[in-house]
Structure 1
Amino acid sequence: MKSRFVLRNAGLLACLAPAWAWAQQTPATASTAPATASTAPAIPTTQLGTVVVTAARSEQALKDVLGDVTVIGSEELQNAGQSSLAEVLSRSHGIEYANNGGPQTVTSLFIRGANSNQTLVLVDGQRINNATNGLPALNALPASSIDHVEIVRGAASSLYGSDAIGGVINIITKRNTDKPLSAYADVGFGTYGTSSYNAGLSGASNGWTYSLSTGYQQSSGFDATTKKNYYHNPDKDSYYQNNVAASLGYEWLRGQTLSVQYYRSYVNGGYDMGAAPLFNDRAIQKLEDYSVTSTNRLTDFWTSTLRFGASVDYNRSENAPGDEVYGNTPDGRSVFRTRQTQLNWQHDLQLAPGQKLTLAYEHLEQRANGDIVNFNDYPVTVGNYEQSRRLVNSFTGVYLGDFGRHHVQASLRNDNNSQYGNRTTGGLTYGFDITDKVRATAGYNTGFRAPNFNELYWRNDSFFQGNPNLRPETSRNYELGLRYQDDDAEAGVTYYHNNVKNLIINQAVDPSNPFGVYQPYNIAHAVLEGVTFTGMRKFGDTRIRASLDLSNPRNTDTHQQLPQRSDTVLRLSADHRWGSFLLGGEVYLTDERRDATTGSTLGGYGLFNLLASYDVTRNVQVSVRWNNVFDKQYTLVDGYRTPGSNAFVNLRWRM
């Protein structure tokens, strides 16, 4: 039986079909030079020469990738102004976000309607979803500290294991260059007393490669909560953050390279806890990621990559001390910390022209510690998780094959988790070139999410307790795609259907007492279904982009739309260049959503942004980003504020 979602939107699909003819009428001409820093549009450019790694765990040209993949480039990230990383990501199709009153607060990201802990986030290939609540520390990652981001939509557990139900986001911090020395520095100021300072250098010479960058950002902020929020504190919630990234590599023999890499980011942000109205509540988040990698070309067709690394997510809350009513610790501080140690040994085998096989072994150790307040005691006491360590051993195989007009990607993975045992996932995608510019794809992939330490081992605090008998959430995703691409135009449409089972939700242990202890159970099911349209066309020095997401993420047991997610999102952008000057605009329109906590309806809204840049010299550029030009009042989470009209001016120098 055909999906109700497809039937409901059939008329719109038919109306949009002429866009394909519009795109294909564009003559194929030589590709124009890529836009400079301030051209960053609402939808990132798909450049024909771009190479991605995340989609198949090995290098591929972006134009050859079979799935729904986007690359956000360094220029857009480094000129994001006051936009958070999550906000920049949400300008790409299929992604929405929510935070609790500013970029420094807890941030959720939804890819194709999946929960935030159902999307795997990597930094330089290493997972950063913490083991306590499963969320990545997006609030601790300033956009200006990142080189580029690769986004893979759809279930990808057969490539990366747990958490990859909605997709994978790989944040790349290393800046590569083929020059002996390249350097940059920028300084920017904006609304809410915001300022940003960044500098870095990189180079390559005599077999050595190196990079070093650092940055500092601060803001007076705005009041994170509204008066209707129980925790409201009428103050400005400021934040400051800093980051540093470094890498060093040496090719000691042709095809034999040893490299080390380090990334650290820190944010100290204000938020409203409410236990003591005059107390300046702070949340401090520190993310560290480091690795050592040996890349060895063993033969003409065999490359081995051995990497050892670790990531540490440290989260400390500072609230009013000794408040037994609200459960604060005696000194007002509580700390949650995740350490993930990873060993990866990957082998890339070029079997024949157009055929590649990747085999990988991974070992992951997760350790979690936290200050869990026990409300059963008076005064309250603090304890740790009942278990604080688990191991995961994984084997992965990925095959890529190109046979003329036919293309195949197949993947298979087994994860053995010391908590729940084995989980096997797989994926198969087929692509067919209808013409040299039009490709059709069909894919099927499975995914899963392992329960986090909060869900498994949280000590009974009289409100919530973990459930060590939880099973992983599982998903089955299939999708169909059609894509047109030439030098001056792109158009695509993707339909996806992701069925999630064993969904974990919290329910009262005693149904007759809804104010008693809650515990997580595998009792829900969800369907993440939607159609996405994307398009781009150039008219000389003018470029226009658009995307439309029509989705229906719903709990199939309650028939309710999943909270904080809209069923319609439209993104439009355009820019035009006059010599050294560029001017662009962005429109973001979204339908209403349902709040996760209050259940209230959050109204739809529209945002209009402006961006401009001027190349003062070959090495100096001034750029301006003006977000929410018309000062639209909108809500992402009920009871929490969002930024009004805000502008940011950035002066950038690069060698």
Structure 2
Amino acid sequence: MAQENDSLVISLEEAVVTGTRIERQKRKVAASISTISRETIARSGELNILPLIAYQVPGFFLNDRSLTGYGVGPGSGGNISIRGISGTPNNRVLVLIDGQPQYMGIFAHPIADAYNASDIERVEVQRGAASILYGSNAMGGAINLITRKATKEGWQGAANMGYGSFGTFQGTVNAAYKQDKFHSMLSLNKNSTNGFRADADDSFDNTSAYLKLGYTFSPSLALSGDVQFSDAIYYQPGSTDAPQEEDRREYLRGRAAVSLTNDWENVSGALLLFHNFGTHEFQTGFSSKDQNQGLTFFQNISLLPKQVITVGIDYKRFGGKAFNETLPPPARTGLGEQHLINETDLYIQVQQDLGERLSLNAGVRKVQNSQYGGKVLPGFGLAFQAAKNVTFKASSSKAFRSPSVVDLFLFPTSNEMLQPEELWNHEAGFQALFMDRKLEIEVMAFLAKGDNLIQVNPINTPPIGRNTGSFSNNGIESQIRFRSSELWQFVLNYAYVNASENVLFAPTHNLNFQGDFSINKFTISPFFQLIGGLRNSLQESAENENYALLNLKGMYQINPKISAYISGKNLLDEAYQLENGFPMPGVNFMTGIHLKF
């Protein structure tokens, strides 16, 4: 797995695993990869990993609407967008945990409240199509959350407790133990809020736990397994035009995974088994039980000098049951029945270095789905080191999204004849280091063309889902990272997206600045965000949303093991809505303490 690096500095020699399935120097990977280290995660103080990704990754946008927690179901937050590609529900950006796909079995979207920062060692985000290696749903990109494990002999642990505005509480405690070839880690997390809406109940409560165990048989063979549970209660407040006095939604999410990794001289890879499950109970009458399980097996083989051939097989079975007895019979289409979809994919990717400067890659994935049949996805790219610290990159790749259970079987709009959505992603750009590698600049231009999108047109008779939609997004992503010393560092990123269609969570202009400035025992961490041209409604007459956010966190190191902090968000008291009818909180504060033991 990729090694941890400095929090805000990335060297062109940094190794990544996302986009290649093997640890490889970032400058030799044609795809656009952004990384976030464990140090950055810890310094941020974020309980959930998604807000930190929004700060650090250009072109990434997160639909947030509360002080803590996102919720599930229609009208909830947590939608992820990369390069203006998202969905409602969000099923066009794939979230992975240790390279294994994570999404709800019926609606095929990730569950935002399940991704706790305390459990994550490192984040790698592939911006742009990632289906060659990761399959369905990776149209806009793939977010690979690499989990933590104990790395030092003996016991280590940490705790973080904070309390703030509107009765908001965030707490986490974790402990890790390593002895010789055995390692383990346990974490417990709790976040809750009374909510800030005066016209409706928008309270939230979530309790989660994570356990990882592993054993290293030899330097070339290791076994590990982990389990994670998240139990939440979310009150959906409704829009300001139709506030809900009480719309309670309970959901339990869980996952279990086992991995066996091998690393021999010319052959390396892994066998990954995973099982995700969940139960949802809504006060409105809706309930569901879903599952998403499967295996991933891949091997990286070196037959020739400077060549790696990755061959793999993925198998997934996803689906479940949904119920709602309060609906009239015509609206109950497909409810109460067990629906399962099987998908088996074969893929191969070849990476070849020509000399020391040019790296080429090409791959193809063959998909076989129990519902719609087969699909073939090609992709290729190159990385050229023009100078010692300057690399140019270009790639073209096809991605797809298989129709979900709700698309195919549930409710009157379902259609069993649906085909997968498709996308071609083309991109080119460069990354460079200056000032003795203290300054890094990255610029990437892209063109994403989607087709065969599943849409429901109420004018059609009957109004069912059909493969009729298309879009063409183009734009540019840029990022500047600078670190003068351990005391002063910052990251600045800007993304421009020209979306051909009126889509949610795809701002035209997205600028983020985050810094860390230390003086003696004090550290000040400002964050500034400027958003322009955000469509927060699908109605053509709705005006674009434009806003500026300022957050500030101050920390004081009491001693090497104890630090206290205070943070303020939306200090400009900006009035804005990421989704029409759902106002965001104004100025709010939190104070707390970090402990190491």
Q: TM-score, normalised by structure 2?
A: 0.90
* In the alignment, structure 1 residue 490 sits paired with structure 2 residue 440: yes
* Bigger Rg over Cα: 1
Q: Retained in 1: the 8 A contact 2:324–2:335?
A: yes
The corresponding residue for 2:530 is 589
Q: Retained in 2: the 8 A contact 1:124–1:173?
A: yes
Cα offsets for 1:95-118 (capped at 9, x unmatched): 112245563332211101112311
Q: CA deviation at 1:123?
A: 2.3
Q: CA deviation at 1:71?
A: 1.6
The corresponding residue for 1:241 is 206
Q: CA deviation at 1:481?
A: 1.0
Q: Retained in 2: the 8 A contact 1:151–1:170?
A: yes
Measure the CA separation in 2 of the matches of 1:476 and 1:217. Answer: 39
The corresponding residue for 2:466 is 521
Alignment equivalent of 1:89, drawn from 46, 53, 59:
53
Q: Retained in 2: the 8 A contact 1:260–1:293?
A: yes
Cα offsets for 1:235-272 (capped at 9, x unmatched): 34211111111111112345232222112222211113
* In the alignment, structure 1 residue 251 sits paired with structure 2 residue 196: no
* In the alignment, structure 1 residue 104 sits paired with structure 2 residue 78: no
Cα offsets for 1:447-497 (capped at 9, x unmatched): 01111111111132xxxx201111111111110011112520001110000
Note closer, same or farther for the CA distance 1:420–1:507 as it changes in structure 2 (3 Å cut). same
- Structure 2 counterparts to residues 239-318 of structure 1, below 5 A: 239-272=204-237, 279-297=245-263, 299-318=264-283
Q: Which amino acid aligns with 2:340?
A: R
Q: Which amino acid aligns with 2:375?
A: R
Q: CA deviation at 1:510?
A: 4.1
Q: Retained in 2: the 8 A contact 1:81–1:647?
A: no
Alignment equivalent of 2:566, drawn from 609, 624, 640:
624
Measure the CA separation in 2 of the matches of 1:450 and 1:372. Answer: 25
The corresponding residue for 1:575 is 516
The corresponding residue for 1:27 is none
Measure the CA separation in 2 of the matches of 1:134 and 1:606. Answer: 32
Alignment equivalent of 1:132, drawn from 98, 106, 125:
106
Alignment equivalent of 1:56, drawn from 15, 20, 25:
20
The corresponding residue for 1:388 is 339
Note closer, same or farther for the CA distance 1:373–1:475 as it changes in structure 2 (3 Å cut). farther
Alignment equivalent of 2:491, drawn from 519, 524, 545:
545
* In the alignment, structure 1 residue 610 sits paired with structure 2 residue 552: yes
Q: Retained in 2: the 8 A contact 1:408–1:430?
A: yes
The corresponding residue for 1:322 is none
Most deviating of 67-76 and 155-164: 67-76
Q: Which amino acid aligns with 1:119?
A: V
Computed over aligned residues only, the root mean square deviation of the Cα atoms, in angstroms, reads 2.6
Alignment equivalent of 2:84, drawn from 113, 137, 140:
113
Alignment equivalent of 2:185, drawn from 192, 208, 211:
211
Q: Which amino acid aligns with 2:347?
A: T
Measure the CA separation in 2 of the matches of 1:427 and 1:381. Answer: 41
The corresponding residue for 1:479 is 427
Q: CA deviation at 1:50?
A: 5.0
The corresponding residue for 1:432 is 384
Q: Which runs of 5+ in 2 are unaligned?
A: none
Note closer, same or farther for the CA distance 1:144–1:251 as it changes in structure 2 (3 Å cut). closer
Cα offsets for 1:286-329 (capped at 9, x unmatched): 221111222234x422234222221113322124xxxxxxxxx3
Cα offsets for 1:332-373 (capped at 9, x unmatched): xx2123211111222122335532222111211112211145
Measure the CA separation in 1 of the matches of 2:325 and 2:473. Answer: 36
Cα offsets for 1:53-83 (capped at 9, x unmatched): 2221222244543321112233444455577
Q: Which amino acid aligns with 1:575?
A: D
Measure the CA separation in 1 of the matches of 2:569 and 2:11. Answer: 26
Q: What's the secondary structure of 2:456's corresponding residue? A: strand
* In the alignment, structure 1 residue 413 sits paired with structure 2 residue 358: no
Note closer, same or farther for the CA distance 1:137–1:433 as it changes in structure 2 (3 Å cut). same
* In the alignment, structure 1 residue 400 sits paired with structure 2 residue 365: no
* In the alignment, structure 1 residue 74 sits paired with structure 2 residue 38: yes
Note closer, same or farther for the CA distance 1:312–1:618 as it changes in structure 2 (3 Å cut). same
Q: Retained in 2: the 8 A contact 1:414–1:423?
A: yes
Measure the CA separation in 2 of the matches of 1:146 and 1:221. Answer: 27
Q: What's the secondary structure of 1:192's corresponding residue? A: helix
Q: What's the secondary structure of 1:604's corresponding residue? A: strand
Q: What's the secondary structure of 1:113's corresponding residue? A: coil
Measure the CA separation in 2 of the matches of 1:207 and 1:59. Answer: 22
The corresponding residue for 2:146 is 172
Note closer, same or farther for the CA distance 1:264–1:47 as it changes in structure 2 (3 Å cut). farther
Q: Which amino acid aligns with 2:547?
A: Y
Measure the CA separation in 1 of the matches of 2:165 and 2:154. Answer: 38
Q: What's the secondary structure of 1:632's corresponding residue? A: coil
Q: What's the secondary structure of 2:584's corresponding residue? A: coil
* In the alignment, structure 1 residue 152 sits paired with structure 2 residue 126: yes
The corresponding residue for 1:648 is 590
Note closer, same or farther for the CA distance 1:467–1:382 as it changes in structure 2 (3 Å cut). closer
Q: CA deviation at 1:140?
A: 3.7
Q: Retained in 2: the 8 A contact 1:373–1:383?
A: no
Cα offsets for 1:482-536 (capped at 9, x unmatched): 111252000111000011111111112646xxxxx63211112101211112112
Most deviating of 81-90 and 485-494: 81-90
Note closer, same or farther for the CA distance 1:292–1:584 as it changes in structure 2 (3 Å cut). closer
Measure the CA separation in 2 of the matches of 1:113 and 1:381. Answer: 33
Q: Which amino acid aligns with 2:493?
A: S
